[in-house]
Amino acid sequence: MKLQTQIPLTKQSKNLIDYHSNILLLGSCFVENIGDKLSYFKFQNLQNPFGIIFNPVSLAKIVERSLKQNYYSEKDIFFHNEQWNCFEVHSELSNPNKETFLNSLNELIDSTNKQLIDSTHIIITLGTAWVYRFVETNTTVANCHKVPQKQFVKELLSVDDIINSLETMVSLIHSVNSKASIIFTVSPVRHIKDGFVENTISKSHLISAIHKVIPPLGDRGLYFPSYEIMMDELRDYRFYAEDMLHPNQTAINYIWEKFQLVWISTEVFKTMNCIDTIQKGLRHKPFHQNSEAHQEFLKKLEAHKLEVQKKYAHITF
């Protein structure tokens, strides 16, 4: 008896992720769920250097600015709520000191530039096609930073708008890194604040645009169906967090297993299992810290760490 309809998945045949891979993750909050899994298993990765960015126009701006090393200046930032902010980045980067803020943004441009050039895999997760345009400058923002809503116009990006943004990103990335695999996903998080029907329209625009952009890329551009897995295989509220919008840890683990099945080289599964043992061991809280049994446990844990680090010198715990 089948109790699920399952999304058909096929193991990638080229450029699989292993411990020599270098991964950049950009986009919505869901990309950080996958990024956290990669970090847990000690894969080399950088996630959302400019913070969570939900829409493709703002993502394209960040990629372009980083690759062209178009550094931020005072005209790109503003003071609001006792902090310096930038409409192109997430509010978690905001800072009360102007010079510190600008320096940190420009350092991120340099590090992201290097990461885009060096990455073997770039995962781009799109969250929404709804955007806010700042009226004063007529530009789409990544984050409103609690500036009064009357200063923005809310708009729905057309499929063509999204295609243009994605093609810009792909073209810029492949101009400096032709071998990178670009993996597109759509976040399974529903943006109900936009409205139920509006969220569906938004996701459909994103999916339509991605599937227009991918075919010309061949095996350098691919789609991972995280949204479809959540909507179809996990169509039950027990797989959602308390807000009934975000996937809970069970759902994240399930989607990660599917991602692992498609994108992670089977040759590193043994190392991943060893790292999982180490990570669980590091989180273990003993009842008797000085006991002989715990000291023996620590010796075994150290042996596992040395085994992994002997094979991959860049891994640290």
Could you tell me the residue ranges of all domains in the chain?
A: 22-264, 267-317
Task: Give the class (CATH, top level) of 22-264.
Answer: alpha beta
Whether 294 has a pLDDT exceeding 80, the answer reads yes
pLDDT at residue 289, as a whole number: 82
The conformation of residue 91, written as its DSSP 8-state character, comes to: G
Give the model confidence (pLDDT) of 113-166 as tens digits: 999 999 999 999 999 999 999 999 999 999 999 999 999 999 999 999 999 999
Q: What's this model's pTM, rounded to 2 decimal places?
A: 0.94
Give the model confidence (pLDDT) of 256-266 as tens digits: 999 999 999 99
Would you state the torsion angle of the CA atoms of residues 104, 107, 113, 115, taken in this order, to the nearest 10 degrees?
Answer: -80
Residues 6+ apart with CB under 8 A from 42: 19, 275, 308, 312, 315
Q: Quote the CA–CA distance of 201 and 69 in Å, as a whole number.
A: 35
Q: Quote the CA–CA distance of 58 and 74 in Å, as a whole number.
A: 19
pLDDT at residue 220, as a whole number: 85
- Which residue from 314, 312, 316 is spatially nearest to 278, judged by alpha carbons? 316
Work out the mean pLDDT of the chain and round it to a whole number.
95
Helix (H) or strand (E) holding 123: strand 121-126
- Mean pLDDT on 196-209: 97
Whether 218 has a pLDDT exceeding 90, the answer reads no
Burial class, 84, CB count within 10 angstroms (exposed 0-12 / middle 13-18 / buried 19+): buried
- Confidence category of residue 4, pLDDT binned at 50, 70, 90: confident
Give the model confidence (pLDDT) of 102-114 as tens digits: 999 999 999 999 9
pLDDT at residue 237, as a whole number: 94
Give the model confidence (pLDDT) of 72-102 as tens digits: 999 999 999 999 999 999 999 999 999 999 9
| Burial 224-261, CB ≥16 within 10 A → b, else e | bbbbebbeebbeeeebbeeeeebbbeebbebbbebbbe
Whether 295 has a pLDDT exceeding 90, the answer reads no
- Confidence category of residue 49, pLDDT binned at 50, 70, 90: very high
pLDDT at residue 296, as a whole number: 86
pLDDT at residue 290, as a whole number: 80
% of the chain surpassing 70 pLDDT: 100
